Amino acid sequence: MAMSENEVITSRLHAVQVEVALVLGDLTVEVVDAIVNAANNHLAHGGGVAGAICRRGGPSIQRESYTRAPVPVGEATWTSAGDLNAKYVIHAVGPRWGEGDEDEKLANAVQSSLDIANRPDLEIKTVSMPAISTGIFGFPLKRAAEVILSAIHDWLNSHPDTQLKIIRLCLFDRQTLNTFDSLLDDCFGD
């Protein structure tokens, strides 16, 4: 079954046999077990990718999110996925640029999302995430790409027996995609 109508631009196979793919397209149409939402700590999904997820997935995502809030910056939680082509939405709370310790908080948000995706009871094999914190939270794109890719690489190194098979970075514009693509080999090699 196809992951979605989104275009896979490039991918690398990590040593633990998990594919890390860069995808150009709309996160809300990804056909995966879980998508990652770039959320605020109150899980109030009004704008950005969070708003788009709720608009496409329906009001149940927001209702369920309120029962899980608040979530500390750098951590994540999950809800069902409503009408999306996924089983779960993992809500990662990334940092706002300028609040301090942004790199660490962003890496923690990514790794917390992967920890949830790796829970045996959720049976997630495929996950797709956006460029967390690079939108309205103002995290500089190149720096965020470095942190996100390194966080994924480090997480995979420390979880050699992960149930995950595919981690997709679903990037909504060519500039974001090109930035991640320019750094992919630094983290994952050829």
Structural domain includes residue 173? yes
CATH code of the domain containing 177: 3.40.220.10
1 part of a folded domain = no
Please give the pLDDT value at position 88: 99
pLDDT reading at 1 higher than 50: no
pTM: 0.94
Domain count, the chain: 1
How are beta strands 126-129 and 76-80 bridged, if at all? unpaired
Give residue-wise pLDDT tens across range 33-44. Answer: 999 999 999 999
> Long-range pairs for 151-154 at CB < 8 Å and ≥24 separation?
151/106, 151/107, 151/108, 151/110, 151/111, 152/20, 152/110, 152/114, 152/187, 153/14, 153/187, 153/188, 154/107, 154/111
Q: Is residue 71 part of a domain?
A: yes
Give the model's confidence band at 148: pLDDT under 50 very low, under 70 low, under 90 confident, else very high.
very high
Asked if residues 149 and 180 have their Cβ atoms less than 8 Å apart, the reply is yes
- Residue 173's Cβ-count burial label (10 Å; 0-12, 13-18, 19+) is exposed
Q: Is residue 161 part of a domain?
A: yes
Residue 169 has a CB neighbour count (10 Å cut-off) of 27
Residue with tokens 């009001």: 59
